Structure 1
Amino acid sequence: MPSVGRGRSADTQGDSSSRGGRATSFNRRPRGETVSERLPSLVVSIVTYNSAREIRNCLRSLSRAAQGFDVAVHIVDNASQDGTPEVIEDLIHELSRESLRFQLARASTNLGFTRAMNLALDGARGDAYLWLNPDVYLQEDTLATLWRVLNEDITCGIVAPQLLNPDGSIQPSCRRYPQHRDVFFEAFGLSKLLPRSRNFNAWKMGDFDHRRRAEVDQPQGACLMIHHRAASVVGPLDERFVMFFSDVDYCRRVQRAGFRILFEPAARAVHEKGASVLRNRREMIRLSHRDFERYFEKWFPNRRYRAANLVTRSLLRAILPIRLLLAR
């Protein structure tokens, strides 16, 4: 992926793939190491924050799904306080092999999801890039299926799997790009009152069948495979979005660049759905409202949207205290 435009962040530390090793370059295979050219190269980027419980299953599932790929796993830990980096180091020692290499960078402070993801992607080079949340567990054929679909059509820039709840039920994960009216429908409960309505629940696609392949606007960013031809055009995530909507923004930029985004239910992954986010729910609600405002400011900048942006911003700020109260 193209460089974010800065070197290694001064507030991170690089860890080698063996305990006690020196800090290493964050983006390149060690000099002299070779992997068969027939293996497609995949850069997997993971941002962790207090993810010690989830990251074991995540990385072990990735190891099983990575057969047939040359994989570099770039992990940025956002100053976890539950021993997540130590768990990752143990897993690196357990799982590393010639075609599966790990790099861990520790941030001294919580950088937020978007900045940390950009750090994980900075300077990385691969045939494709996988954004992976630490609470997502891949099936053995998930990566192979996504890679096949990504290469069936040269216009495909992103492909996403069907996400499952831990009980095996389908987790709705595709959305249309939000419009101003969607905030109104969410705030006053109309989207929940009429969950299958194309009008009142258009944003969260209550009318969509998650059992069929389709071209969509924005699959959930918990697990996305992005072809290098799209990543090289679009560049890094927009850091004006601290925690939320950077994936929505990225998908809009991919589509604006002329690429398609596909949802492929034949590829599956289990998603615990915001395990880390729920541990700090009130702060995450604040950030989601702020990033939502920034989304409308960016994508509806014209004067004719000024009133709609003002009303939407006012509504988001009005309902924020209520959501914070209910989140206690």
Structure 2
Amino acid sequence: MKLSVIIVNYNVRAYLDQCLRAVLEAMKDISGEVFVVDNLSTDGSVELVRDSYPGVKLIANTENVGFSRANNQAIRLAQGEYVLLLNPDTVVGEDVFHKVIAFMDAHPKAGGLGVKMVDGTGRFLPESKRGLPTPSVAFYKIIGLARMFPRSRVFGRYHLGHLAENDTARIEILSGACMFLRKKTLDEVGLLDESFFMYGEDIDLSYRITLGGYDNYYFPEARILHYKGESTKKSSVNYVFVFYNAMAIFAQKHFTRKGPDLFAWLIRGAIYLSAAGAIVMRFLRRALLPLLDVTGLVACLLITRHQLDPGFIFPFRTTLITLPLLLVVCNGVIGAYDRPVRPSKAFSGALFFGLLATVLLTHAQMNAVTLGHLLLFTGAAALVSLVGRLGLHLLGVRSYGWRSLDRRRILTIGSLEEAEHAMALLWQTHFGLGRRSISIRKRWKERRASAIA
């Protein structure tokens, strides 16, 4: 048997379905087997494999045992000359396996291989090729020098920015999203280290492959799509702790075992300092829009406060706390803080806030509701919400751009059924598919119904 494909799944049923379709298509004319190891998913993933892919070997765990242990379960059963560890949120091309097997056959000293990965928008993923995260490399990444000088041979070694993305090259670290491994090499250097629950195990195994006298290759002639980060939400605080703890385990295992304790503490301290910084940045990104809304509303109310009727002037506590908090709640309920940014939701949140603020404050102060008060609150909220979002959009802040998937032109080449499946996958796995995509799906269904009739 030539190839054993191993996919570890956790609650990404839609991705797994697409991944298995592509894998089985790519394995035509190849002697191989496919394993799916499910870590106690609750989204129907196990039923999907059992019902739709009876030829796939399913291992359904009764607990979430982590990425390393789950892969090792299947590796011990694998019969292939080569083993592929593949994330479920990937799509492989029809010729990927043929190209990779031919390359590995021609390079007997190749112990592992990584391919060129692009994300769902077609952008190259720099983790396709990585260098060993030695203390100096990790330090350059932590303090930001790697980002400032991405193509430097010294500062940019984490992602090997000095290597062209379309050139085959020997590298040090493979990505766990798609690792082609020689089974003989695994038998010699050992399986994945199960002390890594998730993240870091690919770095550890890649390093042990090189220590065993084998080479790791980056092979861009084979390309896969990696949606990146759906198995675990990379923006979550949990991700930050798990990822940086894995880096600490790797550093402790390979760089501080024989060194002084002070060196170990310095590495661990740098890692957790970086983790703390990452958590703060994630909080600031989430809080940016509410902070802009609060600041803008307070400024508008303070500027216009003297123009209100004397009987309707409210205390500063209301200006500084009650009304800003009410605006944040209204925008949150409407969905004005969701991304991609939609100006219509910001305006709806402002209108909701204006009505609610006018009614509540008028009731509290026993005054009649006036059109002027309604226009003041609604106009102020709409102004600060739209201006703040427009400013972020014009500054080119990618996370707050106004473009969404329903503004993009998507070309589907294939049958009507394949097009419907692709749109269904996008609908289930991506935010931002709005009314236009709904109308497209309706038109497809109408055409299909007329064709059948």
Note whether the superposition's TM-score is higher than 0.5.
yes
Aligned equivalents of 1:183, 1:127: Cα separation in 2 = 34
1:302 and 1:231, CA in 2 relative to 1: closer, same or farther beyond 3 A?
A: closer
Question: Secondary structure in 2 aligned to 1:115?
Answer: helix
Q: Aligned runs of 1:271-282 on 2, under 5 Å?
A: 271-278=226-233, 281-282=236-237
Greater Cα shift, 116-125 or 262-271: 116-125
Other structure's SS at 1:265 match: strand
Query: Residue in 2 aligned with 1:96?
Result: none
1:192 to 1:279, Cα distance in 2 relative to 1, 3 A: closer
Q: Which has the higher contact order (CA 8 A, sep 6+)?
A: 1
The aligned counterpart of 1:283 is: 238
Say if 2:73 is the partner of 1:119: yes
Deviation of the 1:231 alpha carbon: 1.9
Give the match for residue 61 of structure 1: 22
What is the rounded CA distance, in whole Å, between the counterparts of 1:190 and 1:132 in structure 2? 31
Give 1:147's match in structure 2, choosing from 96, 101, 121: 101
Residue 85 (structure 1) aligned with residue 40 (structure 2): no
Counterpart of 1:31 in structure 2 is: none
Q: Note the 1:226-245 alignment, pairs <5 A.
A: 226-245=181-200
| Distance in 1 of aligned mates of 2:208 and 2:77 | 20
2:363 is matched with none
- Residue 33 of structure 1 corresponds to none
In the TM superposition, what is the alpha-carbon distance from 1:305 to its structure 2 partner? Answer: 5.4
Shift of 1:83: 2.0
1:270 is aligned to 225
Residue 124 of structure 1 aligns with an amino acid whose one-letter code is A
State the shift of 1:314 in Å.
Answer: 0.9
Using the TM superposition, give the Cα deviation of residue 166 of structure 1 relative to its aligned residue in structure 2, in angstroms.
2.2
Q: Distance in 2 between matches of 1:233 and 1:74?
A: 22
| 2:122 corresponds to 1:161 | no
User: Residue type matched to 1:281 in 2?
Assistant: S
2:157 equivalent in structure 1 = 202
SS in 2 for 1:276: coil
Is 1:176 the counterpart of 2:137? The answer is no
Higher helix share: 2
Is contact 2:235–2:282 with CA below 8 Å preserved after alignment? Answer: no
SS at match of 1:181: helix
Q: Which has the higher strand share?
A: 1
Q: Show the counterpart of 2:87.
A: 133
CA distance in 2, matches of 1:282, 1:83: 26
Amino acid at match of 1:82: D
Residue in 2 aligned with 1:253?
A: 208
8 Å contact 1:146–1:160 — kept in the other structure? no
CA distance in 1, matches of 2:179, 2:139: 29
Contact 2:112 2:174 in 1 (8 A): no
Distance 1:305 1:201 in 2: 27
Q: CA deviation at 1:280?
A: 7.3
Deviations 1:138-183 (A, max 9, x none): 1000000000000002211112221122233322211111011233
Q: Structure 2: give runs of 5+ residues left out of the alignment.
A: 284-453
How many residue pairs align between the two structures? 282
SS in 1 for 2:108: coil
Counterpart position of 2:12: 51
Number of the residue aligned with 1:3: none
Q: 1 CA distance for matches of 2:41 and 2:280?
A: 26
Query: Counterpart of 1:147 in structure 2: which amino acid?
Result: I
Q: Counterpart of 2:216 in 1: which secondary structure?
A: strand
Are the aligned partners of 1:114 and 1:242 in contact in 2 as well (CA < 8 Å)? yes
Q: 1: CA distance between counterparts of 2:233 and 2:73?
A: 24
The offset of 1:302, in angstroms, is 4.6
How far does residue 112 in structure 1 lie from its aligned partner after superposition? 1.2
SS of 1:105's equivalent in the other structure is: strand
Describe the superposition over 1:34-91 as per-residue Cα deviations: whole angstroms up to 9, x where unpaired: xxxxxx4311111111111211111000011001212211111111122222222233
TM-score (norm. length: structure 2):
0.59
Structure 1: gaps spanning 5 or more residues: 1-39, 94-100
Indicate conservation of the 8 Å contact 2:7/2:88, yes or no: yes
Specify which of 112, 129, 141 is matched with residue 186 of structure 1. 141
For 2:113 and 2:277, the matched residues in 1 are separated by: 36
Tell me how far apart the structure 2 counterparts of residues 229 and 208 of structure 1 sit (CA, whole Å): 29
Question: Are residues 327 and 108 of structure 1, via their aligned partners in 2, closer, same or farther at CA, if it must alter by over 3 Å?
Answer: farther
Q: 2:263 aligns with which of 308, 311, 314?
A: 308
Structure with the greater alpha carbon radius of gyration: 2
The alpha-carbon distance between structure 1 residues 303 and 160, as it changes in their structure 2 partners (threshold 3 A), is closer
- Which residue in the other structure is 1:21 paired with? none
The secondary structure found in structure 2 opposite 1:277 is coil
Task: Please give the per-residue CA displacement for 1:6-59, whole angstroms capped at 9, x wherever unaligned.
Answer: xxxxxxxxxxxxxxxxxxxxxxxxxxxxxxxxxx43111111111112111110
Identity of aligned residues (%): 27
* SS state at 2:18 partner: helix
For residues 156 and 181 of structure 1, the distance between their equivalents in structure 2, rounded to whole angstroms, comes to: 27
